[in-house]
């Protein structure tokens, strides 16, 4: 039985139709990603599912016993509420029922007894007698500090608390609206694991392509009021979408050709009109109406960078730079040289010191120790993730042009209205105050302002938040063709992989290491380094590590027993076998048609997946335990 179902559902705002006779069904266990351009109506669709927005026409059906929970886009407030209370707020209705029951518990009149019986049935149906245990379970599962206040937590931990408030409801369907905004990569990957472990249905909106690729079992696209469904993950969706767009172009070209032929025929002379076929005239009228009703695909943003003269070959050089903040070392002995044309990504947890390093690289902040040498002829354009360069009271036009009617882009004067249309702002919208814009629109204003400045060095601090996928991909293309120097702070893994040529990773205790390539390259190089240090083999360096380890053993005076040593030797092969089986189960359960199979089979395979995850985790824990015993033996 499906969880929810749309049947010819419509939602409009004024004259604008967001959902135009759409059909949708979500089944148990599906993880459905909703994609589309900013402003297409994705959040409106989620509001219909959550019950906040009612359709103008059509029907919305949901399983009568369904429990729907939502992880909101906005972070919870950093206030004085305890984390435990925030998680408990997800059960607010059950808390109310139990409070009402306890208030009536000592009443003995007939009406109160009847109400008590009714409340008892409701509480039993909702497992309302075990609220504290349910909250404690979620706190432990998400490693949340229940006694801390929200004001003591970072944004990532507040997001965990909000997820706890959703999961404590044991929902059948979980709604997520841009869950990764303003989260660091470590927290995003943690969130992915939590969603993969969740066995209910998921409907989510995200512009994080790596997250969509990993989580989605199906993509639904909202485009010009219509929903299209694409089985599989984001990579498969791109392939299918490209084929559909080519087919749409072909059909439109054939249609336009036929319309042009008929228009030419109807405009022929008196002789042709005297003998014209009235049926053909009616057909032409219908073609005109159809062409008028065709909803053209909204264009993507179009923008180019304003070029500046080249900087010197050396952009910035750091020598043995160290810096501390509030007594904590965030950069320790960093030596680095950035050359003209380098595209450098900065990655690390929130609060690690990425913005501080940017200020040092730009010469805005002197480090506590070390030398900083800036190159010559630098012209810097800076994108601020906090949008501090925008005046919320001023219009888009005034924020970008400073009141001028035209701006100069690569030596050509352009009217400001024409320029802003490249960033998808209509003339009317361009006169809107910034405070009335969505997050995605604010980011496009920032990009319009940024790209109107001559620059040979771009500094982008979280430019991808709230941007739709098409704008993200266009921004990638622009940056790849940019000949200046780029410093990029981003938690968007796919964006980093596609844009940067090297990565500065904040790895804790002030260590900032440089790696060639993007995020996946950093992961691979870090794993190789970790493997070499933990389990050396093969190279001369590895051989030296082996000899050093062997030389240390006699000092310990004892070694693992024969049985434990045999167990340790066998564990790597067992882990490899367990990983292979787990990957096979993950591939099977992520298949597009997996949830269309028999319910009992689906349940059995999901249970097998959970069991395999636990088995692999137990093997790894045992391997670590025996390695530590051996190292300390």
If one compares 543 and 309, the residue with the highest pLDDT of the two is 309
pLDDT for 335 equals 94
Residue 75, phi then psi, degrees to nearest 5 = -70, 145
Do 344 and 502 contact (CB within 8 A), yes or no?
yes
The pTM of this model reads 0.64
Confirm or deny that 348 is annotated as ligand binding.
Answer: yes
Distance CA 59, CA 22 (A): 10
**Top-confidence residue, 507 or 559:** 507
Termini Cα distance of the chain: 57
User: For residues 565 and 138, what is the distance between their CA atoms, to the nearest angstrom?
Assistant: 38
Residues 189 and 249 in one domain: no
**Torsion region of 228: left, alpha or beta (phi above 0 gives left; psi -120 to 50 gives alpha):** beta
The answer to the question of whether 43 is labelled as a binding residue is: yes
Q: Using one digit for the tens of pLDDT, what is the confidence trace for 377-427?
A: 888 888 765 556 788 889 999 888 877 788 877 667 888 888 888 887 888
Give the CB-side neighbour count of residue 487, counting CA atoms within 13 A: 26
Split into its structural domains, the chain has a count of: 4
Q: Is the pLDDT of residue 275 over 70?
A: no
Q: Where are the beta strands (DSSP E) in 340-432?
A: 343-347, 369-374, 380-383, 406-409, 412-415
Contact 69, 51 (CB under 8 A): no
CB 287 within 8 A of CB 260: no
Does a structural domain hold residue 202?
Answer: yes
When pLDDT is averaged across residues 598-608 and rounded to a whole number, the result is: 77
pLDDT for 413: 82
Q: How confident is the model at residue 290 (pLDDT cuts 50, 70, 90)?
A: low
How many whole angstroms from its chain centre is CA 222?
17
438 annotated ligand binder: no
> Is residue 59 a part of any domain in this protein?
yes
From CA 174, how far away is CA 198, in angstroms rounded?
A: 9
- Residue 346, pLDDT > 80, answer yes
- Domain-embedded: residue 103: yes
> Residue 340 and residue 314: Cα distance in Å, rounded?
6
289 confidence band (pLDDT: 50, 70, 90): low
Query: Given a cut of 70, is residue 374 above it in pLDDT?
Result: yes
Model confidence at 539: pLDDT above 50: no
Residue 218 has pLDDT above 90, yes or no: yes
CATH number at residue 414: 3.40.50.300
252 known ligand binder: no
Q: What stretch of H or E contains 176?
A: strand 173-177
The domain boundary residue, chosen from 504, 528, 552? 528
Percent above pLDDT 90 for the chain: 24
Region 515-531 average pLDDT: 79
Instruction: Tell me the C-alpha distance between 445 and 427, whole Å.
Output: 14
Is 349 annotated among the ligand-binding residues? Answer: yes
Question: 352 a known binding residue?
Answer: yes
Which tops the pLDDT comparison, 101 or 439? 101
Is residue 354 part of an annotated ligand binding site? yes
The pLDDT of residue 369: 94
Kindly state whether residue 199 falls inside one of the protein's structural domains: yes
**pLDDT surpasses 90 at 159:** no
Q: Which residues pair with 630 in a beta bridge?
A: none
The rounded percent of the chain whose pLDDT value lies above 70 is 85
Are 174 and 28 in contact by the 8 Å Cβ rule? The answer is no
CA distances to 232, 235, 527, 580, 610 from 603, rounded to whole Å, are: 20, 27, 34, 21, 11
Residue among 368, 424, 367 at smallest CA distance from 396: 424
Query: Do residues 62 and 173 share a domain?
Result: yes
Q: Is 439 annotated as belonging to a binding site?
A: no
Q: Which pLDDT band, with edges at 50, 70 and 90, does 628 fall under? A: confident
The answer to whether residues 41 and 53 touch, using CB atoms and an 8 Å cutoff, is no
Distance CA 512, CA 346 (A): 10
Q: Are 330 and 413 found together in one domain?
A: yes
Q: Is position 309 within any domain?
A: no
Whether 456 has a binding-site annotation, put simply, is: no
User: Is 516 found in the same domain as 601?
Assistant: no
* 22 belongs to a structural domain: no
Nearest to 178 by CA among 485, 478, 491: 491
- 21 has a pLDDT exceeding 50: yes
Among candidates 429, 506, 496, which has minimal Cα distance to 464?
496
Is 130 within the bounds of a domain? yes
Q: Which of 479, 507, 528 is the last residue of a domain?
A: 528
38 is in an annotated binding site: yes
User: Worst-scoring range by mean pLDDT, 43-57, 74-88, 358-372, 605-619?
Assistant: 605-619
pLDDT at position 211: 92
User: With bands split at pLDDT 50, 70 and 90, how would you rate the model's confidence at 122?
Assistant: confident
Name the band, by pLDDT with cuts 50, 70 and 90, for residue 371: very high
Residue 36, annotated as binding a ligand: yes
| Average pLDDT of the segment spanning 282-303 | 56
Whether residue 165 sits in one domain with residue 259: no
Residue 473, classed as helix, strand or coil, is helix
pLDDT band for position 529 (cuts 50, 70, 90): low
Structure tokens at 458: 């771009």
Asked if the model's pLDDT at residue 291 lies above 80, the reply is no
Give the pLDDT band (50/70/90) at residue 554: very low
- What pLDDT, on a 0 to 100 scale, did the predictor assign at position 557? 36
Residues 480 and 412 in one domain: yes
pLDDT of residue 251: 81
Q: Do 249 and 353 sit in the same domain of this protein? A: no
Which ranges of 422-468 does DSSP label H, i.e. alpha helix? 439-451
Query: CA-CA distance, 155 to 284, in Å (whole number)?
Result: 59
> Is residue 571 pLDDT above 80, yes or no?
yes
Same domain, yes or no, for 402 and 324?
Answer: yes
Rg (CA), the chain: 30
CA 281 to chain centre: 52
Give the pair of three-digit tokens for residue 223.
Answer: 């485009």
Q: Which domain holds residue 486?
A: 314-528
- Tokens found for residue 270: 């008196």
CA angle, 191 then 193 then 195, to 5°: 70
User: How do residues 293-345 score in pLDDT, each as one tens digit?
Assistant: 554 544 555 555 555 667 788 899 999 999 998 888 999 999 999 988 899 99
Q: Please indicate, yes or no, whether residues 424 and 568 belong to a single structural domain of this protein.
A: no
Domain end call among 508, 528, 548 = 528
The residue with greater pLDDT, 270 or 341, is: 341
The chain-wide mean pLDDT, for the chain, equals 81
Judged against a pLDDT cut of 80, whether residue 270 lies above it is answered with: no
As a whole number of angstroms, the distance between CA 48 and CA 306 comes to 43
Claim to verify: residue 511 and residue 603 sit in the same structural domain: no
Q: Name the pLDDT band for 555 (thresholds 50, 70, 90).
A: very low
- At residue 60, the pLDDT reads 95
| CA separation, residue 345 to residues 3, 209, 321, 507, 509 (Å) | 42, 18, 19, 14, 20
Look at residue 271 and give its three-state secondary structure. helix
Most confident stretch, 12-26, 180-194, 242-256, 428-442? 12-26
Residue 170 falls inside a structural domain: yes
Non-local CB neighbours of 135 within 8 Å, separated by 6+ positions: 84, 87, 88, 91, 146, 168
Contacts 24+ apart (CB under 8 A), 614-623: 615/578, 616/575, 616/578, 616/579, 616/582, 619/571, 619/574, 619/575, 619/578, 620/575, 622/567, 622/571, 623/568, 623/571, 623/572, 623/575
> Same structural domain for residues 445 and 517?
yes
Task: Find all residues with CB under 8 Å of 67, minimum gap 6, and list them.
Answer: 169, 170, 171, 172, 173
Higher-pLDDT residue of 281 and 151 is: 151
What pLDDT is recorded for position 257? Answer: 80
What are the DSSP calls for 566-588, one per residue? HHHHHHHHHHHHHHHHHHHHHHH
Residues 225 and 261 placed together within one structural domain of the fold: no
pLDDT-derived band at 553 (thresholds 50, 70, 90) equals very low
């Amino acid at each position: 039985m499906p969880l929810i179902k749309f049947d010819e559902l419509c939602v409009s705002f004024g004259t604008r139709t967001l959902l135009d006779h759409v059909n949708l069904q979500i089944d148990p266990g599906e993880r459905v990603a909703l994609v589309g351009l900013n402003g297409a109506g994705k959040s409106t669709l989620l509001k219909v599912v959550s019950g906040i927005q009612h359709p103008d026409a059509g029907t919305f059906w949901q399983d009568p016993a369904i429990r729907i929970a939502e992880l909101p886009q906005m972070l919870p407030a950093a206030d004085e509420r305890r984390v435990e209370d925030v998680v408990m707020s997800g059960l607010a209705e059950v808390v109310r029922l139990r409070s009402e029951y306890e208030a009536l518990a000592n009443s003995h009149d007939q009406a109160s007894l009847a109400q008590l019986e009714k409340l008892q049935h409701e509480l039993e149906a909702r497992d309302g007698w075990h609220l504290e245990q349910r909250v404690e379970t979620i706190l432990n599962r998400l490693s949340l500090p229940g006694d801390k206040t929200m004001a003591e937590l970072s944004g990532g931990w507040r997001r965990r608390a909000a997820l706890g408030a959703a999961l404590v409801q044991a929902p059948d369907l979980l709604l997520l609206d841009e869950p990764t905004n303003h989260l660091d990569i470590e927290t995003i990957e943690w969130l992915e694991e939590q969603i993969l472990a969740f066995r209910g249905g998921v409907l989510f909106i995200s512009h994080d392509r790596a997250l969509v690729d990993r989580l989605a079992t199906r993509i639904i696209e909202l485009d010009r009021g219509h929903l299209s469904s694409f089985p599989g993950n984001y990579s498969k969706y791109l392939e299918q979408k490209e084929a559909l767009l080519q087919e749409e172009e072909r059909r439109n070209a054939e249609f336009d050709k036929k319309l042009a032929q008929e228009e030419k025929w109807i405009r022929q002379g008196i002789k042709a009109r005297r003998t014209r076929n009235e049926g053909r005239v009616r057909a032409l009228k219908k073609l005109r109406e159809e062409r008028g009703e065709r909803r053209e695909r909204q264009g993507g943003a179009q923008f180019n960078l304003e070029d500046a003269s080249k900087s010197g070959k050396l952009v910035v050089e750091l020598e043995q730079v160290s810096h501390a903040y509030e007594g904590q070392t965030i950069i320790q002995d960093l030596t680095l040289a950035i050359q003209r044309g380098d595209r450098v990504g900065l990655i690390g947890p929130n609060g690690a010191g990425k913005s501080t390093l940017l200020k040092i690289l730009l010469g805005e902040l002197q480090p506590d120790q070390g030398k900083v040498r800036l190159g010559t002829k630098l012209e810097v354009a800076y994108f601020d993730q906090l949008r501090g360069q925008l005046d919320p009271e001023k219009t888009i036009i005034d924020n970008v042009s400073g009141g001028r009617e035209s701006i100069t882009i690569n030596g050509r004067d352009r009217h400001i209205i024409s320029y802003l249309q490249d960033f998808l702002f209509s003339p009317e919208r361009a006169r809107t105050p910034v405070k009335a814009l969505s997050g995605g629109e604010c980011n496009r204003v920032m990009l319009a302002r940024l790209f109107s400045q001559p620059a040979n060095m771009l500094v982008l601090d979280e430019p991808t938040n709230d941007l739709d996928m098409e704008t993200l991909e266009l921004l990638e293309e622009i940056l790849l063709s940019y000949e200046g120097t780029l410093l990029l702070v981003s938690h968007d893994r796919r964006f980093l992989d596609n844009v940067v040529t090297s990565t500065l990773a904040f790895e804790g205790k002030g260590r900032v290491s440089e790696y060639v390539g993007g995020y996946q390259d950093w992961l691979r190089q870090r794993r190789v380094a970790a493997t070499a240090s933990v389990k050396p083999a093969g190279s001369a360096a590895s051989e030296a590590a082996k000899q050093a380890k062997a030389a240390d053993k006699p000092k310990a005076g004892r070694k693992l027993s024969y049985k434990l040593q045999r167990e340790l030797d066998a564990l790597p092969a067992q882990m490899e076998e367990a990983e292979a089986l787990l990957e096979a189960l993950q591939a099977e359960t992520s298949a597009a048609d997996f949830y269309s199979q028999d319910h009992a089979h689906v349940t059995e395979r999901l249970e097998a997946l959970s069991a395999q995850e636990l088995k692999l985790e137990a093997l790894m824990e045992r391997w670590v335990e025996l390695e530590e015993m051996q190292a300390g033996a």
